[in-house]
Every structure is written in C-alpha cells, then in structure tokens.
Structure 1
Amino acid sequence: MKLARVEIVHLAIPLVTPFRTSFGTMTTKDTFLLHVVTDEAEGWSEFAADPEPLYCSEFVAGAEIVLRDFLLPRVAALPRLTAPALGPAMAKVKGHELAKAALETAVLDAELRAYGMSLATYLGAVRDRVPAGVSVGIKESVADLLDDVERYLAEGYVRVKLKIEPGWDLVPVRAVRERFGDALPLQVDANTAYTLADAEHLRRLDEFGLVLIEEPLEEDNLYGHARLQQRIATPVCLDESLHNARDTASAIALDACRVVNVKPARVGGYLEARRVHDVAHAHGVPVWCGGMLETGVGRAPNLALAALPGFTLPGDTSASARYFAEDVTEPFVLDADGCLPVPRTPGIGVAPLPDPLRRFTRTRRDLYGGREGGR
C-alpha cells in the first residue's frame, strides 16, 4: 500500500452521565478520529487521550502536531506501507505511544480491509464474544453509587469496577459488597491516587475479596507496587505503569503486579498489545482489556484484542449505551449473558456512520495529502 491522505476528525460527544475519577470529571468525549486513505483501502482509528494532559502526558492538540510534523513524514517515506513497518519507522520519535497507536490502528484497519481479513483473525482471537464489565466513577453519595451498580447489573454486566481515591474507598466498597454479595466480581481502580505510606489503609480492602486493585500508586513505580503487594492480599494490577511488553516482563519478575490491564493505545497499538498479552499469558498472569470511554471506532478493535486466550477477566469493553446516547458507529449491545460480539468483518469491523459523525464533528483537517488547512 501507499499512503494517499490522512485526515483528522475532531469530535465531541456528550456522555450520558458525568464520569469522575481521581483525575477529574468528564462530561464529553472530546477527541479525534484518524482517517487514513491508501491506494488500496481506507482505515479508521480513535485517539484515546483527552484535551488536557491529566490522565497521561499526551493530549489532543499535541498529538495532532506529533502526527503531522513527525510521524506521518516518516511513515509516508516507507517504500511499502504496512502496519508492522510503522514501529521501526516511528521509533526515533520518543514516547507519544497514543499518537503512534492511532496511526498504526488506522493503517492496520486499511491493510486488513484490503486483504479481506478481520482484526480478530489477525490478532489470533479464540472467541466470538467476550464478557463485559463496567467501570463506575466516583459519585456524590453512596446511595447514588448503589443505584448505578444496581442498574448496571440489571443491564447484564458481569463485573463491576469502582473508581476510588482517598476519602472514597472503604465506605463505598463495603456498601457495594454488602448490598450485592460476595459472589459479585468486584475490583477497584485508584488511578495512581495513593502512596506507599497508604499501604496499611489499602490493606483494609482485603476483607472485601476484590478481584484486584488497579494502579494504586504513582505511575512507573514498580518497586513501590512490589512493596505494596508484599503487604496486601488483594492482587495488584498495573495499568499506567506498563508501556510495553518489556515493562510487563519486569513488573511480573518483580511481583509488582499479579494482573495486567492492557490498553492498546497506552502501549503504542495492537501489535504491542498482543506482545504484552503474550508475555503475561506465558507467565500465567491474568490479562484484561481496559477502556478509555471509546466510541465504537475504539471499542471494536478492543473487543478483537479481548478475544485472545490470555484475556481471562472481563474488561471495560462496555456497551455503547454505557457512555453515549448515540455513538458514531452502529451501537454495541450486551447480549443476554452479559457479553459483546467480536467484530468479524474486514479490518476493525466498523466505520463511522455519516450522519452522527457529521453532527458530532467540530473540525476536519488534512494532515497529509488532500487539501491544505481545515474545512
């Protein structure tokens, strides 16, 4: 394939309810889609980060510059455009994994469409449907939290994840456990909100039989997470600290994590995400697929990844209606068993629908080829 044009589509979609974590509160999914056109097919992807660098160092405006000025010139110079060739071509650009992931995914979508192959088949998926968990943000009150959890369980979700932070941890977790029983698969996500000095406090979560506690300490602190794991029984799961398969191998060797959350965007794309899965699976460490409040463009490839054999825990691959009254793709809907179907049509299996895409689009610009400037 040869690269013909790359377009950025900046969109903003209202969330059905505000989503609060220890980083802040989101009311709108404000990001961009990347549209890659080649001489053989077209591909789409979604940038996973936000307008502000709060969850991670990358952000929407910065990613656009990195793509336009540094990544696309290197990729356009390739004699033959393939997704596996992108990694070496982009390697001299330090960091910016989420921007690299957006470009790799869009190219991979186009390449697989040209071949008539689904992403699930390409990655090695072994399931046609995957169980769906739900992530529940920090609420104004415990009563509000219980109402939300009850509604999500009634909708069919098979696992609940609670966002926690200092001052919102033991009480809400205890309330959910007492209300819905010990059989409910329950886990918590701290989004780096604690320090090792909080170890004794976090140890009090052990009584609730949690599946895991996700990223309790500051990012990239493998030593601190290993020390914490020595002091608590709840399995530590790492998310933001794992940037690639090498980090994953190091964390497992240090016993800094006993569960791995794979977010494809965070590790640079689906090819590296598969390598992270392979490392964890080879060591018998459970893997699950995290979420970034994706639209259907981001949710579809996550489902393909979550169908790999090592993904033994339900991920945050919720139904479209969990976040959006209307998505930019055909909606993903839970089946009666709390599962979502894995797309099996060529590429990532979805494409934006013209009408909702037009309504939610703020700007469109060509980053490579095409017409200059916005439109």
Structure 2
Amino acid sequence: MEIESITLKMIRSPLKSPFHTHLETVYDREAIIVEARDKDGRTGYGETVPFSSPWYTEETIKTCYHMLEDFLIPMTLSGNWEHPNELSELWKGIRRNQMAKSGLEQAIWDLYAKQKEKYLGRLMGGKKQYAAAGVVIASNDRKEALRQIETFSAEGYKRYKVKISPSSDLSMLAAIRSVYPDLPLMADANSAYRLDDTVHLQKLDSFGLQMIEQPLGVDDIAEHSLLQKEIKTPVCLDESICSYHDAKSAIMLGSCQIINIKMARVGGWSQAVKIHDLCVQNGIPVWCGGMIEFGISRAHNVALASLEGFSIPGDLSSSSRYWEEDIIEPDITVRNGEVKVPDSPGIGFRINEKRLKELTVYRETFKAM
C-alpha cells in the first residue's frame, strides 16, 4: 500500500453548549484531521481527538501533533509495510500515544477501504444496518439535565449517560428517576471515587442503572475487581482500558462486567477490533464510546459499532448534538434511537470541504520521498 502524502489540519470550533464533568468544562473543541492520499488521488480521513488540556488522558492536541509530525508520519511514509494491519507493529517502538496513532491509522484504513471499494465497517466484519445510539447528559445542574433528557428523548435515544461525582450523584440520580423511572440510564464517574467510597457507591444500586462507568482510578484495574464484588450495579471500564492487554487483565480479574471501547483511547481500528473479539469470546458486552468528536471520528465510530459485539447503545449522538454544522455530509442523524449504517466505500460519508476549510486554523503536508 503506497501513500503519496499525509496532511494534518488543525481545526477548532465552539460547542453549541458547554460540556460539563467534575474534571473540566469544555467550551471549544480542537481536533487534528489526518488526510492520507495515494498516487491515484484517493484520500482517507482520520481524526485525532485528545482535548486541549490533559484532563481525560495525558495526550493533548499539541502532544499528538508533535508525535504525528516528528515520529509516526515519517515512520509511516518511509516504513516497510503493505497492509494497515501492520501499522501497530511498525509503531511498536512508540510507547502509548494512542490517540495520535488512532487518527493516523483511521485515515489509512479509510483509504484502504476506498481502494477496495468497500464500506469500512463491512471490511472489519460489521453486519448491522443500524447502530443503537446513546447520548451524554453533560450538566451538573439537575433542571438542565432533565431538560436535556426531555429534548433528546424526542429522537428516541436508547441509553442516557449522566456525569456524576460524590457531591451530587444521589440528588442527580434521584431527580432523574423521579421523572423518568424506566429510563435506560447509566452513570459516568470519570474516576471520581475511591475504594473507600464503596458503602456510598452501594447506594447507587437502588437507581437501577445499566452500569457505572470508571468509578475508581483512571489507571486502575485491581481495585475495580474488589468494588465489583461489593456492588450490584455492573462496573464498566473506560479510561483504564488502553490496550488489548488491559482488557484481558480486567476480564481475568473480574474487574468489570462491561467494557467501553473508544477507538481513540486504544490506538485505532486494529486494537479496537481485537478488544471487541476478546470481549465477545468472554461474554463481556461492549459499547462504542465517544469523545465529543467532529464527524470524521463519529463516522469511524458508527462503522465500529456495526460489529455484532456492540450490544449496548454507544455514544453515537447526532451531529447536531454539538455542532451547528459538521465537517461531513450528510450529518449523522439519530432516528428512533438508531443511526443508519452507510454502505459507501470508506467511512461512508462525504467531507464537507467548505466547513472543514472554515474551521482549519493550521495545515501541513508531508510527502513520501
């Protein structure tokens, strides 16, 4: 597989409304769009999606750009490889930096699928025609959270995720359950608790949650195994699953009953599919997590969620959830709680070149020698 050039485009856009967690409030979103072009003019697209500051992972927009520019792109353009599956081995000397790797690998897989004239999801074994969609309620105000639920319920979302912390969890969940007793609801803690909070976390069992996501340390697996034995609510691991090995360790220890697979967090398509297959083999349900992405990353997520093991609705909200206008065409739209899986080659969506150009604040092209 020969690549003629790789272009990085730094983009920035305000969110339609702030995104609140106990760690950070996001008002503006940056991303790096990766474009891989072959000699016949076909272009594959990926999206590198860390945040501007290292509140979710240690990676940021600036560190990812550095890794792409100075290491991953030069290795890719000069390396001896023939198939996208070989990229993980090519890059094995670069420790972690999963989000930088993911954006570049996405672009190359998209290009490869276009060369094969196949939809990327089908190329990876996906069979679904529709992917079930969930939405994040990112507000620390109870009234605003209820307003968001009412708004999003009109689109029929099949799972609602609310951000929680020890200071507000009981009141927030009680307020939601008083109005929506049967809502398919989960709680995302973003590592807000300690193992010493086990008795407090046991109180959440009464709310009938589908799961509690990453209640303990951001890099913990062992203590989650102890917590899961003491609470009825299924534990879902997110931040601490950064590789196939992490997922295997968590399953061996009984640290969770559910795993959230974020392509960006685990390093791209190859690792995401390996983790999916491992979970299917071990009877662990998975769902596709999101990162407040623009449309290119969201399109890759739709393709990933088309795999059969994704039995829980993922973070696949409509483009309009965050953006006045997205960088893909058509917009991703949730209808009756589902996103239609496309069938066009590659990621299945066109690029909105006009909008992409409007949001681009910097670009740089690297050519094969």
TM-score of the superposed pair, with normalisation by structure 1: 0.95
2:201 and 2:350 map into 1 onto residues whose CA distance is 43
Q: Aligned-pair distance for 1:82? A: 2.5
Per-residue CA deviations over 1:61-90 (Å, capped at 9, x if unaligned) read 111111111112221123444211211110
Q: Give aligned pairs, total.
A: 367
2:53 and 2:84 map into 1 onto residues whose CA distance is 28
Give the aligned residue type for 1:176.
Answer: I
Contact 2:285–2:312 (CA<8 Å) still a contact in 1? Answer: yes
In the alignment, which residue of structure 1 is the partner of 2:8? Answer: 8
Matches within 5 A, 1:355-374: 355-366=354-365, 368-369=366-367
Moved over 6 A (4+): none
Q: Does 1:115 align with 2:113?
A: no
In the alignment, which residue of structure 2 is the partner of 1:131? Answer: 132
In the alignment, which residue of structure 2 is the partner of 1:194? Answer: 193
Matches within 5 A, 1:270-285: 270-285=269-284
Q: Aligned-pair distance for 1:22? A: 2.1
Q: Aligned-pair distance for 1:306? A: 0.7
Comparing 79-88 with 226-235, which one deviates more in the overlay? 79-88
2:14 and 2:278 map into 1 onto residues whose CA distance is 37
Matches within 5 A, 1:66-81: 66-81=67-82
Contact 1:116–1:347 (CA<8 Å) still a contact in 2? Answer: yes
Per-residue CA deviations over 1:86-131 (Å, capped at 9, x if unaligned) read 1111001111011111111101111111110111111111211111
In the alignment, which residue of structure 1 is the partner of 2:302? Answer: 303
Q: Aligned-pair distance for 1:263? A: 0.1
Q: Does 1:52 align with 2:53?
A: yes
In the alignment, which residue of structure 2 is the partner of 1:349? Answer: 348
Give the aligned residue type for 2:128.
Answer: R
TM-score of the superposed pair, with normalisation by structure 2: 0.97
Q: Does 1:158 align with 2:158?
A: yes
CA change 1:351–1:78 in 2 (3 A) is farther
Matches within 5 A, 1:166-315: 166-181=166-181, 183-315=182-314
Contact 1:277–1:310 (CA<8 Å) still a contact in 2? Answer: yes
Give the aligned residue type for 2:96.
Answer: G
1:295 and 1:147 map into 2 onto residues whose CA distance is 24
In the alignment, which residue of structure 2 is the partner of 1:373? Answer: none
CA change 1:200–1:233 in 2 (3 A) is same
In the alignment, which residue of structure 2 is the partner of 1:100? Answer: 101
In the alignment, which residue of structure 2 is the partner of 1:26? Answer: 26
Give the aligned residue type for 1:290.
Answer: G
1:80 and 1:71 map into 2 onto residues whose CA distance is 13
RMSD: 1.4
For structure 1, list consecutive stretches of 5 or more residues without a partner in the other structure: 371-375
Give the aligned residue type for 1:150.
Answer: E
1:325 and 1:81 map into 2 onto residues whose CA distance is 39
Contact 1:329–1:350 (CA<8 Å) still a contact in 2? Answer: yes
In the alignment, which residue of structure 1 is the partner of 2:39? Answer: 39
1:177 and 1:271 map into 2 onto residues whose CA distance is 39
For structure 2, list consecutive stretches of 5 or more residues without a partner in the other structure: none
Give the aligned residue type for 1:136.
Answer: I
